[in-house]
Amino acid sequence: MDTLEINSRMKSLPHWDLIDVSGMPEIQRVYKLKDFREALNFTDQVGELAEKEQHHPTILTEWGKATVTWWTHTARGLTPDDFNLAAQCDSVYESKSYLQK
């Protein structure tokens, strides 16, 4: 994806940040959660989503937050899949389905 397309897609993900890691663009969001259990449950749901799509993010789970980072190794950057999965992570967060565990 070129910079223009990336910037356009970022507009649909207002809570996500575009970051540069060793010259490679990635998108990242920190989700605020109540405690470690909530963060773990949220991480589990994102992991299930990633496994279903066979596209895996970096997830850092901490007390009260989970940081999710998407990019595509083979593309050495971002693809439409990364943005679609980021939006799906937002849907999991907004639905609060991770609270039902």
Band of residue 6 on the pLDDT scale cut at 50, 70, 90: very high
**Residue 93 scores a pLDDT above 80:** yes
Range of the domain at 27: 3-100
Averaged over 35-45, what is the pLDDT?
A: 97
Mean pLDDT, the chain, integer: 96
Per the CB < 8 A criterion, the answer to whether 49 and 63 are in contact is no
Distance CA 1, CA 75 (A): 9
- Could you tell me the CATH number of the domain that includes residue 85? 3.30.1360.20
**Residue 100 scores a pLDDT above 80:** no
Averaged over 1-7, what is the pLDDT?
A: 94
The percent of residues in the chain predicted with pLDDT above 90, rounded, is: 93
Tell me which residue of 70, 72, 76 sits closest to 90, measured CA to CA: 70
Averaged over 37-61, what is the pLDDT?
A: 97
Band of residue 101 on the pLDDT scale cut at 50, 70, 90: low
Structural domain total, the chain: 1
pLDDT of amino acid 17: 98
**Pseudo-torsion of CA 57, 62, 64, 67, nearest 10°?**
-20
pLDDT of amino acid 37: 96
